A = this chain, B = another copy of it.
Amino acid sequence: MQLIKNVLGREVPTEVNGRSVHPFQGIGKFQPQGRKVGAPIPSGANYKSSKVLDSIDAALNKMNLFNGMTISFHHHLRNGDILVNLVVQKLADRGIKDIVLAPSALFPVHEPLVQHIKNGTVSHVLGSMNGPVGRLCSTGGMKKTAILRSHGGRYRAIQDGDLHIDAAFIAAPTADPHGNANGVLGKSACGPLGFALADSLYADQVVIVTDNLVPFPTFPWSIEGGNVDYVVTIDSLGDPQKIVSGTTKITTDPTRLKIASMAAQLVRDSGFIYEQEFSFQAGAGGMSLAFIQYVADYMREKNVVADFVRGGSTKTLTDMLDEGLTKFILDGQSFDLAGVASLRDNPHHIETNPFVSYNYHTKGCFAPRVKASVLGGTEIDLDFNVNVNTHSDGWLLHGIGGFQDAADAEMTIITAPLYRKTNPIVVEKVVTVTAPGESIDAIVTDQGIAINPNRTDLLDRLKDSDLPLVTIEELHEKAIAITGKPAAFQTKDNVVAVIEWRDGTIIDSVKELDV
């Protein structure tokens, strides 16, 4: 594997698993060529009999299965999902080898994959890996190179033909016999099903798996039956408690509350709240929820109504919609039951998918229309590069999620404590670059706020603010004064995973840990 240095000075391969790839060149610099791919042309003549089957085996019996095939799953059921383990086990039972697994993300519940990778059923993963599978990847446990993509990047890769899916298995909380499916109804309701959209449009074979088959037509049809080969019924898609939490909880930790408050004030003092077309995006973590409440307070003060807010949706966000503080929620995934119910019942709570929200290879997606995006990170360095994938000790333990995409906002704010345990958050150089510094505009810590110096416009907006603005170097010094310099770790030469930027270029590599 030949490695070259990309524009950030990161060593990246020019070929991944036999496919030529481009190094990251800076945001917006890489110009794609060619046309989007298309799924095989089907004929309605071959879909005259019922698509409904009463077991996954019945579907597998009808499908084209082969060694080396790429199969895909979505992660809307999160840690409550049973489908990934079930399908891979059944393929293992049939002796299928070298499966390429292309989920939108994996969770700790998918730990059984470790054995499937070790015994050769699964070759490697093209998708985000949380926890045990990432740990295996870090130590060179996969046959080929893993590729991590953002939510938007995954849609792009499928659409552009970089990621060909032979068979998509789509867990659907509700489906009808036609194959129309959604995530807002049924006992396993999870909210949107957008992460499975690209799979349904582009995969050669598409299987809906549902524990709530209803008469045609179910609506919304987040997945359209015209793209679906089989509809499999099973008793349960998983554990509803782990699919969505009952409620998401606002942090009570004073440090995190302080950070949330400062981030909200940053959004206020920058003036965006009081201008036309205000919007923001914040996640479902306790600190993000606190941020949302502080921003909501500022909005109430001056009767501001946001044009839209972006989920993941939570009760904190749906309360804003119900109160009239925002015209719309544009929701990619629901994190609690209030989010699911609002998506189901409120016509101004709109399901989105990575094509409309995040895909960079479109004629524009929503991400750059967001005024303020508040994101977490594992590390941020003096160039404002952010790492959300690896820990400071080199372990690959997290996916990209929507990070790269959400960082396309007008003002992208990282919120983090200055240090966690003995690890500084602001470091000299991040272990892995998930997003380049040019996409990051501010870091808010409990010990001060650093604004990217390239954002002179932002610094100008903030010149009358009483926020504790400091330089990133000051934050770094404060951090290591407390934690000391992070310990070095050893890697071997070989690349076990690459981090794709959302345009398909390679922004960084993850090397095998020498442990």
A369 at the interface (CB under 8 A from B): yes
Closest B-chain residue to A180, C-beta based? B356
Q: Is the CB of B227 within 8 A of A363?
A: yes
- How distant is the Cα of A42 from the Cα of B355 in the complex, in angstroms? 12
Interface flags, A24-46, vs B, CB<8A=1, else 0:
00011111111111111111111
Which residues of chain A from 262 to 310 have any CB-CB distance to chain B below 8 Å in the complex?
A: 277, 307-308
Is A360 close to B, CB under 8 A?
Answer: yes
Task: Say yes or no: is A328 at the interface (Cβ < 8 Å to chain B).
Answer: yes
Q: Do A217 and B41 contact each other (CB < 8 Å), given the known contacts A51-B364, A226-B365, A363-B47?
A: no
Inter-chain contact B41/A38, CB cutoff 8 Å: no
Question: Of B45, B226, B330, B347, which is within 8 A of A217 by CB?
Answer: B330
In this assembly, does A315 line the interface, its C-beta being within 8 Å of a C-beta of chain B?
no
Given A179-B364, A363-B225, A363-B226, residue A35 in contact with residue B31 (CB < 8 A):
no
Instruction: State the Cβ distance, A172 to closest chain B Cβ, in Å.
Output: 15
Write the A338-364 contact mask toward B (1 if CB under 8 angstroms, else 0). Answer: 000000000110100001100111111
Report whether A228 and B363 are in contact in the complex, using a CB–CB cutoff of 8 Å: yes
**Nearest B residue to A408, CB-CB:** B44
Verify if A366 is at the interface (C-beta below 8 Å from B). yes
**CB <8 Å contact, B42 and A363:** yes
Expressed in whole angstroms, the minimum distance between the Cβ of A30 and any Cβ of chain B is 8
Contact of A216 among B45, B48, B225, B369 (CB under 8 A): B369
| Contact code string A44-82 (vs B, CB < 8 Å = 1, else 0) | 111110010000000000000000000000000000000
Docked complex Cα distance between A435 and B47 (Å): 21
* Chain B residues within an 8 Å CB radius of A360: 43-45
| A319 contacts partner chain B, Cβ-Cβ < 8 Å | no
Q: Is the CB of B40 within 8 A of A178?
A: no
| Inter-chain contact A364/B40, CB cutoff 8 Å | no
Please, how many angstroms separate the alpha-carbon atoms of A215 and B275 in the complex?
Answer: 14
Verify A227–B362 contact, CB threshold 8 A.
yes
Q: Report how far A368 CA is from B44 CA in the complex, Å.
A: 9
A229 at the interface (CB under 8 A from B): yes
Give residues of chain A (356-392) contacting chain B, Cβ–Cβ below 8 Å. 356, 359-366, 368-369
Is there a chain B Cβ closer than 8 Å to A512's Cβ? no
Docked-complex contact B38 and A36, CB < 8 angstroms: yes
A43 to B159, CA, bound (A): 13
**CA A215 to CA B326, docked complex, whole Å:** 13
A224 sits at the interface (CB 8 A)? yes
The listed residue with most B CB atoms (<10 A of its CB), out of A35, A45, A159, is: A45
Q: Is A508 an interface residue (CB 8 A)?
A: no
- Which residues of B are found within 8 Å of A348, using beta-carbon distances? 219
A239 in the interface, Cβ–Cβ < 8 Å?
Answer: no
Within 8 A of B (CB), among A60-114: none
| Nearest B-chain residue to A35, judged by Cβ | B38
Distance between Cα atoms of A28 and B42 in the complex (Å) = 11
Q: A190 at the A/B interface (Cβ < 8 Å)?
A: no
A11 close to B (CB within 8 Å): no
Residue A438, interface by CB 8 Å: no
* A210: min CB distance to chain B, Å: 16
Is the pair B368, A48 in contact by a Cβ cutoff of 8 Å? Answer: yes
Q: Are B48 and A31 in contact (CB under 8 A)?
A: no
Distance, CA A361 to CA B48, complexed state (A): 12
- A160 beta carbon closer than 8 Å to chain B: yes
Q: Which residues of chain A (214-261) have a CB below 8 Å from chain B?
A: 215-217, 219, 221, 224-229
Binary B-proximity of A413-424 (CB < 8 A = 1, otherwise 0): 000000000000
In Å, the complex CA distance between A354 and B207 comes to 22
CA A202 – CA B503 in complex, angstroms? 21
Residues of B within 8 A of A365 (CB): 44, 226
Residue of B nearest to A215 (CB): B307
Residues of B within 8 A of A51 (CB): 363-364
Contact partners of A307 in chain B: CB under 8 A: 215-217
In the complex, the answer to whether A363 meets B229 with C-beta atoms within 8 Å is yes
Cα distance A224–B359 in the bound complex, in angstroms: 12
Q: Does A206 contact B (CB under 8 A)?
A: yes
Bound together, the chains give a CA A224 to CA B35 distance in angstroms of 18
**Most B C-beta atoms less than 10 A away, residue of A216, A328, A347, A365:** A216
Q: List 10 A-B contacts (CB under 8 A).
A: A32-B42, A35-B41, A41-B361, A44-B359, A44-B364, A44-B368, A45-B360, A179-B364, A217-B350, A224-B355
8 closest A-B pairs by beta carbon, nearest first, are A36-B38, A28-B45, A226-B362, A47-B364, A32-B41, A35-B38, A44-B360, A42-B363
- Besides the known contacts A42-B361, A178-B364, A219-B347, 19 further A-B residue pairs in the complex with CB atoms under 8 A apart: A28-B48, A30-B43, A31-B43, A33-B41, A35-B38, A36-B38, A36-B40, A44-B363, A44-B364, A44-B365, A47-B363, A48-B364, A219-B348, A219-B350, A221-B356, A226-B365, A228-B364, A229-B363, A347-B347
